[in-house]
Structure 1
Amino acid sequence: MVATDPLWLPSLSYDETELRKMDSALVMADGTALGSRPGIRPGDPGLAVSLAGTTVNVTAGAAVLYRSGQGVYRAQLAATSPGTLTAANATFARIDLVYLRVWDTAIDSSGLRKADTVLLTGTPSGSPAIPTPGATEIYIPLATINVPNTGGGGTGAATVSSAIRQVTVAPGGVLPVLSTAAPSTAGPGTILYYTDTGAYWYFQADGTTKALLVDSPGGTTLGKTIEALKTGATQTVTSSTTLVNATQLVLPLAANATYALSGLVIYDGAFGSGDIKVDWSLPASATMLWTANGMGTAANGLYTANTVPAGTTIALGTYGAGPPYTSLSIEGTIVTAGTAGNAQFRFAQNSSNAVPTSVYAKSRLSARRIA
């Protein structure tokens, strides 16, 4: 067993590496033993890069840097300038990199122990790439500078991008990050906020990520209820048994999901004739068992309740023009396959009649995802 020195005990002395490694406990882990995620605090405007002509400026700020086996380097800087842009190439554009560096002679043999910003000029190319600092350098990138060729304006048209800038948080903090730049590993329960999509995701115990909230983009809709309410004008079918879509009575469903369906449809039509028939159109390969409960056809006064699969119409009676109106209630289960899409309620006359069969406002549907 190799003993170490815990922090803040009397009569102990510490070297710099011990202190940096213990500082790792203050910063979000990177998925490796003693590893830390380097970066700037979320919301901290410090260490911002800008151009004044060809002069590169960096505002004051603080950051956390990390090197494997060496722990965490905490650095703060006053406002500084790492240099000026070199002249643009006549033919090709280039990308320059501005970064914060810590010089540690024990690691880089530089003979220096300091922190400062660096401007690293890129290589002009038809497909310019971000330059890479030396292998022994301890650094975090702050910004890139896109320098077009002289025909495109050269250094006078150079632009700064902070997309490469990385943030870090304390353990347990919510990490704001682009979805395209999210860490691939983190501890279970670590929460990511994707700044480009507005989604919250978290790491599970097996190392995979999952959307945190039902309404978060990309999140599961399990337990969520989708509702449709007919608020528009009365919709009629006259002298026709051809099914039509009931306006507004449509439910958008996710792929590979199971929904508990319910609803109330308010309608009327000629007494004892015409009647109404109803069914659904569903997303590709979706299946369904459902019932429409209500009065029987031909004004027989009988209550009807039949459970049928999708594609089978159910006929119910009409009992004269309202008010009062006739109504039917809906219950069922819909199972979608690999295609998302709409569950559309449809209706028509069961037998053609010159008296309209009508569906009224305040008819409603709902589908709650149960699997």
Structure 2
Amino acid sequence: MPVSTMPEATMPTSATPHEPSSPTTPGSTTRSAAAARERTAVLESQIVQRPGDYRVLTGDRPTGALHLGHLLGTVANRVRLQDLGVEVFLIVADYQVITDRDDAGDLPATVREVLLDYLAAGLDPERSTVFTHSAVPALNQLLLPFLSLVTVAELERNPTVKAEAAAAAERGGRGMSGLLFTYPVHQAADILFCHGNLVPVGVDQLPHLEITRTVARRFNQRYAAAQPYFPEPDALIAPSTTILGADGRRMSKSRGNALELRASDDETVAYFKRARTDSDRAITYEPERRPEIANLLQIGAYFTGTTPQALADEVGSAGAGRLKAVVTEAVVEGLRPLRARRAELASAGPRHLAEALARGNARANAIADRTLDDVRDLMGMRY
């Protein structure tokens, strides 16, 4: 349904006066991956026409500096949406760091590294709202009424929860934390506190978003049937595939196979030298049969502004060595402006980062406070 045909979302009087309309249909059922991709194509055309109708919530757990997989998988898309005029809320989910670990490490230092990466990549704190979980109490308080809207069985069926439960059983010792078990509902609070109506996700994350849609729908049915309060957010399927690390597995800092955005040119060269390929000399783009080669082609294509297939045709029978050389040069040159900007920000000291985060936290708090006030009113809990 085109956004232009949707009425403005009706909010209680204390809500943010410029809340975007919801591009979803209340009561709609779980969408398949194919349907989500079709919907994404429609949304992309609408975003270009009316970016102000959309409010995006996205973010990362601050477990380390960002890497190439973050840039190609999420960060570049966030910058694109921001530059199109979409209102972007970017959460540094520090509470989520402790869902599955006893030691969170030096969180202040890690958050600073993530902020450096965000700003260096082009996210503008004057246009996008960057904030931390722990700095927005009203957002987290929404978790309590939202938990009443889902069942234990529904949480147990969530893929992330199921996977962690299985992993905990295998390794013994510490079981799954209550925070991790309720993670899908905490994510719903992250999205709905600001009335987010668009969430960039991969296909594997659709079940998470469905919990958010369920929470919004049930809250509206129970407490705001006459004038639905929360939008049911849409999924914007990520434009790129999963980026693999040098060992052929999904790129992850915890696996030690990631190329950090802050890495030096020499580190970048060394990284791609050890990247896995295969024994076929002719370079072809076949993601299913040749995932490591396809991964290099996707990375190279991103930084050269071409397609993986075109890059494969260019390298042809020159082999994996030539492909690695082409990709290495493309990444080094492509990341040069980002790395220069990052170094400039880092040399300026922590004050600029602290000020940017303080502005984002203040804006997020103002919106979360209004949302929590509205929720209390709708639930009859204003005393």
Report which of the two has the higher share of strand: 1
TM-score after normalising by structure 1: 0.18
Greater helix share, 1 or 2?
2
Structure possessing the higher radius of gyration over alpha carbons? 1
Q: Which has the higher contact order (CA 8 A, sep 6+)?
A: 2
What TM-score comes out, normalization by structure 2 length?
Answer: 0.18
